[in-house]
Chains A and B, each alone.
Chain A
Amino acid sequence: MSELTLTVMRLGFLAVLWLFVIVAVQVIRSDLFGTRVTQRGSRRESGRQQQAARQAAPPQQRQQAAGGRQRRNAPTKLVVTEGTLTGTTVALQGQTITLGRAHDSTIVLDDDYASSRHARIYPDRDGQWIVEDLGSTNGTYLDRTRLTTPTPIAPGAPLRIGKTVIELRK
């Protein structure tokens, strides 16, 4: 076999070997998988959302601070008095209680007339419990008045969400 042929084969083989390596690396490049974060909408809007989230956070922080100094006459539990969950009680320990059909709510309402995130109940700085409607479809009623702003709840006052009625008790 001539020297030339062998030299060509020798270099050719190295070239082919490296070609394989390069092809393999190309496959890796096109194969980068995993989670992908897609930015939808403008950056300004997402910034605004983050701001909104930040504004939503303070009540929770405050309520944690208030947890220690509860007033003497403050309600201690939340009782469901009407609806499918009748008899359910939730202890009030300074945490925010969310109500709605969403699975992550504190009280998951099995109620066709309730929204996914219907309302929330949280203590304010002084330990006073406040109910806030979260833009529900059918509204939240405290003593027959539809809520438009966060409102303090008096103990014993019926809070109606769809077919469910809730009271705070001592």
Chain B
Amino acid sequence: MSSTTNSPTHHTSTIGAIGAPSRRNTELALLAFAVLIPVFAYANVGLAINDKVPPGLLSYGLGLGLLAGIGHVVVRKFAPYADPLLLPLATLLNGLGLVVIWRLDQSRRLQASNTFVEAAPRQLLYSAMGVALLVVVLIFLKDHRVLQRYTYISMAGALLLLVMPLIPGISAPTYGAKIWIKIPGLGTLQPGEFAKIALAVFFAGYLMVKRDALALASRRFIGLYLPRGRDLGPILVVWVMSILILVFETDLGTSLLFFGMFVIMLYVATERTSWIVFGLLMSAAGAVGVASFESHVQQRVQAWLDPMREYTLSRQGVYGHTEQSMQALWAFGSGGTLGTGLGQGNSDLIGFAANSDFILATFGEELGLAGVMAILLLYGLIVERGVRTALAARDPFGKLLAIGLSGAFALQVFVVAGGVMGLIPLTGMTLPFVAYGGSSVIANWALIGILLRISDTARRPAPAPAPNPDAEMTQVVRPS
């Protein structure tokens, strides 16, 4: 499929696209693999805890397989050239998450708690809704550039979604963070997860238009390009916005996620390192400033600096302290290199939020360092595919959107994993696909859907060039 325009007699180098095969069969094979691994894990958990293959094995396996199959058929039909790895990777992570959530459901200690609910069937339902949203995105979003038309609408939508948890009637504050809203009859929703996608669309559309002004109109000052004041406006607005989220919703993670995503996209759009320097300085200043008067944030920082002290205080019954950070670290420690084996750890001691914010600790204990590394690599591969999609995309909007979405995904994984492992202060965010939580799973499936759509457009072979009129023969004058 190389578009060679040179005749064979010309000895030149020709540049042509390698015929990108659709690779749907590779995807199918990987999907089968990605469904079998969680089924294996499920059987393993059942054997370890109850000494028998769990009765729900067939239904869980079929459920996951069905979701993967539907996703595959829709991708085959509506995005035939899409990236072959995104769907299997997401399916595997979702399946592993389901298994570990089910494993924590089996814990006697957690069952004894008065807030216990069977989380795994719900998570399977959420996953089904997520895949349904992926299908909707792939069917109705024929071309990602359509999203460009909704640049400012998505900004307004994102702001609305972010403000919703503060509105008294529908807000559902839980454990110090106001990031949930109540939907009557359905439960709670975390609008921030969806705001992530809407904001990526806005940033991509905005930066595509403004990137030249941001990149070129600048003064040089000690090796840094200082942007003009009026170009600095939007970054200041986003910064203030993320600080306000931090103050009013006491949600460190979301604030970091949005600001980080904006800085990443700004850097990609303008190729100016100074933006990263500014971004880091501003987020540091903002975080320190807020932490100096917001007690919730201070407490998180305390727990990060000295988890053992927090643990002791919490054991002594002092209100407002948490023992979970320390317990998570112990879970990682007791897992060692190869882990205790699925179903044989004691990570359920973490108690509350063991299957959502702290789910990585269970992986750390039962699969060990080797397992956690594999999980992190799976996330890394998703991000890699997203960045690769951005590189291959032909339109600047698609490039920026793909970078923004995969950057947000990477940041989210970093914020959660770093928080649980004690690298950064813990924030209440969910590990994409793995952690229990409907909004997160659904929003991330939609994110994968958009990435699949961009990659389909990017990898689609270019249409054959129009026939070259120059190739026509010149008529020869014959002297008669």
A residues near B (Cβ < 8 Å) are 1, 5-7, 9-14, 16-18, 20-21, 23-25, 27-28, 31, 33-42, 45-46, 49, 101-103, 112-116, 136-138
Contact = CB atoms under 8 A, between A and B. Distances in A.
Given A10-B338, A13-B40, A46-B12, A23 B474 contact: no
A9 B381 contact: no
Contact of A101 (B51, B368, B469): B469
Interface residues of B, number: 56
Given A37-B15, A101-B469, A17 B48 contact: no
Contact of A35 (B16, B51, B92): B16
Contact of B341 (A7, A18, A21): A7
Nearest to A163: B477
Interface string B366-399: 0110110010011001001100100110000000
A34 B474 contact: no
23 contacts: A9-B47, A9-B341, A10-B44, A13-B40, A14-B339, A14-B374, A16-B40, A21-B374, A23-B33, A24-B85, A24-B381, A28-B85, A31-B84, A35-B17, A40-B6, A45-B11, A46-B13, A101-B469, A101-B474, A103-B469, A112-B475, A114-B474, A138-B476
B318 interface: no
Contacts of B15: 35-38
A41 B17 contact: no
Nearest to A112: B475
B237 interface: no
B20 interface: yes
B368 to A, nearest CB: 7
B12 A41 contact: yes
Contacts of B381: 21, 24-25, 28
A1 B92 CA distance: 26
B18 interface: yes
Contacts of A24: 30, 85, 88-89, 378, 381
The 9 lowest CB-CB distance pairs between A and B, nearest first, are A41-B11, A10-B341, A116-B470, A137-B474, A17-B374, A112-B475, A33-B20, A45-B11, A115-B474
B85 A36 contact: no
Contact of B370 (A18, A20, A46, A49): A18
A13 B342 contact: yes
A21 B475 CA distance: 61
A110 to B, nearest CB: 10
Interface in B437-480: 459, 469-470, 472, 474-477
A20 B470 contact: no
A16 B89 CA distance: 14
A89 B423 CA distance: 72
A103 B475 CA distance: 18
Contacts of A34: 17-18, 391-392
B469 A6 contact: no
Interface in B25-82: 26, 30, 33-34, 37, 40-41, 44, 47-48, 51
Contact of A33 (B18, B341, B476): B18
A90 B340 CA distance: 83
B2 interface: yes
A1 B48 contact: yes
Contact of B92 (A11, A20, A112, A136): A20
A38 B2 CA distance: 10
Contacts of B295: none
A14 B378 CA distance: 13
A14 B12 contact: no
A6 B13 contact: no
B17 A36 contact: yes
A6 B344 contact: yes
A87 to B, nearest CB: 23
B23 interface: yes
A5 B2 CA distance: 53
A113 B475 contact: yes
B3 to A, nearest CB: 10
Nearest to A16: B37
Contacts of B20: 33
Nearest to A114: B474
Nearest to B11: A41
B14 interface: yes
Nearest to B83: A31
